[in-house]
Amino acid sequence: MKKNGRLPEPISSRLLLAAALMDAVFVLFVTRLIGTTAIEHLSRLFTTIPPEALWFGVFACLLMIYAMISDIILGGASLGRIVLGLRMRDTAGHPVKAGRRTLRAIKKYSLMGLGGIRLDSAASYDKSTGITWFSEMAPRGYRHPKTWQIHVITGKNKKTTHPIGKIARFASKGIIHIGRDPGWADIVLPQNAIKASGRHCMLRYHKGELYLRDGDENAKASSNGTLINGKRLPSGKWIGLRGIQQFNAAGVILKIDRFD
Amino acid sequence: MKLPSSIHSLADLTTLIINGVTILGTLAAAFAGTSATVAGLSGMPQISLHDVALPWRLVAFSLLAAALGWGLGAIVRNYSQSRREGLRLLCPIAGLCWGGLLVGTAQWATAGATTQFPELVFFTLVGIGLVFRLSVFQFRAEIGPATGTIIRLRSDALLFFAASATVLLILTEFAGRQ
């Protein structure tokens, strides 16, 4: 069985561009196939416009129609993407629902698709709608959440591992409390991590994605904050991790291991 | 689908020969200008598909495109895993060259076409599809290690291949209309 894994952003953007080029060649072929008749009709209507401009106009219109059919109706499938084995999925690897695909298409075409021409990160419309791309070139898939693990790494590279499936609160509510207070936390941070708060942060699993929130359920923020990629999280808000595997709880690093 | 290693090796060897012949033919054509001169200079037999029906030309081209795709996949698969930076650089360069080879082969297969059907664009489209599919078949992560850097090099090769094939196709189409 083919095992599709989630592609990292710079790689998916490259492959999507390659697929787009093949799609452009396909549309060029269709334009050449039906264009002659269309140009004859259009030339009678627009006598002042040179035929080359009309050719380009027909090509651009067909390209736009093709892209919209692919993005909205066909669930992100196009000739180039099928051949390259690219599949549009949400962050948990599930097929994307029509509503989210339409929202993505609106965001995409409001910028004439230019937000997708980048090589080192995902398209802006993919990021904002939580869409990722899967391929057989990237085999690492998510395991079942019950088998995920959280590694807690303190300053002296001391590592402890917590299997998520064994946390009772996660099994019943899908939530994990992290802090130094043993009466509150499911993952108790070491007492020598003095910058970490007793009720430091919470993790929540919801519809295939992990969310992180600084502070406790009463919206009381931690003293020294929770950081992702060096940026402090706003307190009292659930922030989607979207594949991010590591965060920092006031000097204590927590790594989430959820891949095969 | 997994292929036995003996078939993999045989396919690699066959594709090496076909790719070698295609590269030599393209280089000879590029340096000599006309196919007649090529025949005269290199002593190679001149193979023309001028009078052959479209389906047979398509079959011949598909075989060559499949060999190119398998070859590109094999080269990039091996070099992307290399520890030497110089060899890893060959991946995008191979993509660029193979784009040229594909359009060159499509031109050869469609030379002399007089119908309204856009043969060159159609052949190039079929060729890009075959090269993509066979390369991705070789890049499947079950075959060998696939770290982020390796997958990036492979995706670079595919992107450079698609870009060079598309640009050359457009240039050829424009040149044909002048």
pLDDT 10s digits, A245-260: 789 998 899 988 876 5
Q: What is the phi/psi pair of residue A228, to 5°? A: -120, 125
Residue B81 touches partner A, C-beta closer than 8 Å: no
Going by pLDDT thresholds of 50, 70 and 90, the confidence category of residue A1 is: very low
**Mean pLDDT of all residues belonging to chain A:** 85
| pLDDT score of A181 more than 90 | yes
Residue B158 touches partner A, C-beta closer than 8 Å: yes
Chain A closest CA to B45's CA: distance in Å?
Answer: 32
Going by pLDDT thresholds of 50, 70 and 90, the confidence category of residue B85 is: confident
B19 against B89, higher pLDDT? B89
pLDDT 10s digits, A55-80: 888 888 999 899 889 888 888 889 99
- Tokens 């079950």, residue? B142
pLDDT above 90 as % of chain A: 27
Find out whether A210 and A241 touch, Cβ atoms under 8 Å.
Answer: yes
Judge: B118–A33 Cβ closer than 8 Å, yes or no: yes
Which residues from A are below 8 Å from B159, CB to CB? 14-15, 17-18, 21
Identify the weakest region by mean pLDDT among A106-120, A224-238, B41-55, B153-167: B41-55
Q: Span A5-17, mean pLDDT?
A: 86
Going by pLDDT thresholds of 50, 70 and 90, the confidence category of residue A187 is: very high
pLDDT value for B132: 95
User: Across the interface, which of A3, A14, A139 has its CB nearest the CB of B159?
Assistant: A14
Identify the weakest region by mean pLDDT among A59-68, A188-197, B2-11: B2-11
Q: Span B23-37, mean pLDDT?
A: 53
| pLDDT score of B150 more than 70 | yes
Find out whether B29 and B35 touch, Cβ atoms under 8 Å.
Answer: yes
pLDDT 10s digits, A201-226: 999 988 767 889 999 888 888 999 99
Judge: B159–A138 Cβ closer than 8 Å, yes or no: no
Chain B closest CA to A74's CA: distance in Å?
Answer: 19
A137 against A81, higher pLDDT? A81
| pLDDT score of B112 more than 90 | no
pLDDT value for B41: 44
pLDDT value for B158: 95
Q: Span A31-54, mean pLDDT?
A: 80
Q: Span A146-173, mean pLDDT?
A: 86
| Strand arrangement, sheet containing A187-188 | A187-188, A175-179, A201-206, A209-214, A239-240
**Mean pLDDT of all residues belonging to chain B:** 78
Closest-CA residue of chain A to B123: A29
Identify the weakest region by mean pLDDT among A37-41, A134-138, B27-31: B27-31
Which residues from A are below 8 Å from B158, CB to CB? 14-15, 18, 84
**Whole-structure pTM value:** 0.65
pLDDT value for A199: 93
A109 against A80, higher pLDDT? A80
pLDDT value for B32: 47
| pLDDT score of B63 more than 60 | yes
A204 against A242, higher pLDDT? A204
CA A65 to chain centre: 25
Best A9, A13, A16, A29 residue to mutate vs chain B (most B CBs within 10 Å): A29
| pLDDT score of A197 more than 80 | yes
- Chain A contact residues (CB < 8 Å to B): 2-3, 5, 7-8, 10-11, 14-15, 17-19, 21-22, 24-26, 28-29, 32-33, 36, 79-80, 83-85, 135-140
Q: Span B139-147, mean pLDDT?
A: 65
Which residues from B are below 8 Å from A28, CB to CB? 121, 169
Instruction: Say how far apart CA A73 and CA A80 lie, in whole Å.
Output: 16
Closest-CA residue of chain A to B115: A33
User: Across the interface, which of A5, A21, A33 has its CB nearest the CB of B166?
Assistant: A21
Let me know the angle formed at the C-alpha of B6 by A260 and B10, rounded to the nearest 5 degrees: 115
Residue B154 touches partner A, C-beta closer than 8 Å: yes
Residue B147 touches partner A, C-beta closer than 8 Å: no
Find out whether A256 and A162 touch, Cβ atoms under 8 Å.
Answer: no
pLDDT above 70 as % of chain A: 93
Q: Span A166-192, mean pLDDT?
A: 91
A237 against B5, higher pLDDT? A237
Judge: B162–A18 Cβ closer than 8 Å, yes or no: yes
Chain A closest CA to B39's CA: distance in Å?
Answer: 32
Which residues from B are below 8 Å from A33, CB to CB? 117-118
Residue B171 touches partner A, C-beta closer than 8 Å: no
Q: Among residues 15-34 of chain B, which lie with CB inside 8 Å of chain A?
A: none
Judge: A84–B136 Cβ closer than 8 Å, yes or no: yes
pLDDT value for A96: 85
Going by pLDDT thresholds of 50, 70 and 90, the confidence category of residue B34 is: very low
User: Across the interface, which of B132, B140, B155 has its CB nearest the CB of A14?
Assistant: B155
Going by pLDDT thresholds of 50, 70 and 90, the confidence category of residue A38 is: confident
The tokens of A242 are what?
A: 């979207």
